[in-house]
Amino acid sequence: MCGIVGLYLKKPELEGQLGKLFEPMLEAMTDRGPDSAGFAIYGDEVADGWVKLTLQSTEADYGWKHLMGSLEGRLGCSLDWFQNASAAVLKVNCEEDRARAALADLAPDVRIMSAGQSIEILKGMGLPKEISERFGLANMKGSHIIGHTRMATESAVTMEGSHPFSTGADLCLVHNGSLSNHSRLRQELKRQGITFETENDTEVAAGYLTWRLQQGDSLKEALDHSLEDLDGFFTFAIGTRNGFAVIRDPIACKPAILAETDDYVAMASEYQALASLPGIDKAKVWEPEPATLYIWERA
């Protein structure tokens, strides 16, 4: 089952409305995924030389302030941060590897959900409405966002097992479907240096894209290769720093719908998730073709 939604705003002046427009889209997918939900939002970029990391704890009252004080002392560089429910968004003026190493030492129980210059990933167990309210989705700003509501099939219902998954800078993926060769691919990718934190097949798909990009592929080339190397049924929505992409497997048995106006591009597993968008009655609406890449990016 599972539900996928995505929204890409073409006009910067609309970015203050991103969360408000997206919240009903995510919640419309509740019947397709009632056990957990999450989203990746892009915006509030940090400058070159800085990295932004989304950190999450299973403890609602985790001591973020103490951790950030210890982290600043360890790294000896400027940082900024803010808390959002069980998560914290950290902006730090150092290399990502240094920040990750320090966090692994100081707070091994904290999960790094995403890293890059733009991305923030927030997710957890519960109904989509609960996740929206927990993280204040309606008030968020940004250029684009993708989300997922989960009905678990391949792994346990946990915060870590919910989508989106990110295995590379500003890159994330959500997935409706299942991969039949994820165990073999996981082992092959581990030998190539890709690390995994869950047994979820979607994380393998995300890791595969990260590996292909590391080999020098463009996003289009990486997704073309995925059609050859990933066995199973899937609809993917992929977020990048500059935009998002949608692709279905060659059989395309997992549903997807796209809509485009002069103001936005939106996608969902079902049309009902698009019905609340302004101007949807005048939008170009279509079902994405099998094994065909659709991508929208800022110049």
Q: Where are the beta strands (DSSP E) in the chain?
A: 3-9, 36-42, 51-56, 79-84, 87-92, 111-116, 119-125, 144-150, 165-168, 171-179, 232-239, 243-248, 257-260, 264-268, 284-286, 294-297
- In DSSP terms, 38 is beta-bridged to 123, 148
C-alpha 290/C-alpha 225 separation (Å) is: 15
* Count of helices and strands (H, E) across the chain: 7, 16
- Minimal CA–CA distance to 54: which of 6, 15, 103, 93? 103
Q: What is the largest CA-CA distance in the chain?
A: 55
- 2: annotated active-site residue: yes
**Phi-psi region at 17: left, alpha or beta (left = phi > 0; alpha = psi -120 to 50):** alpha
Catalytically active residues, by annotation: 2
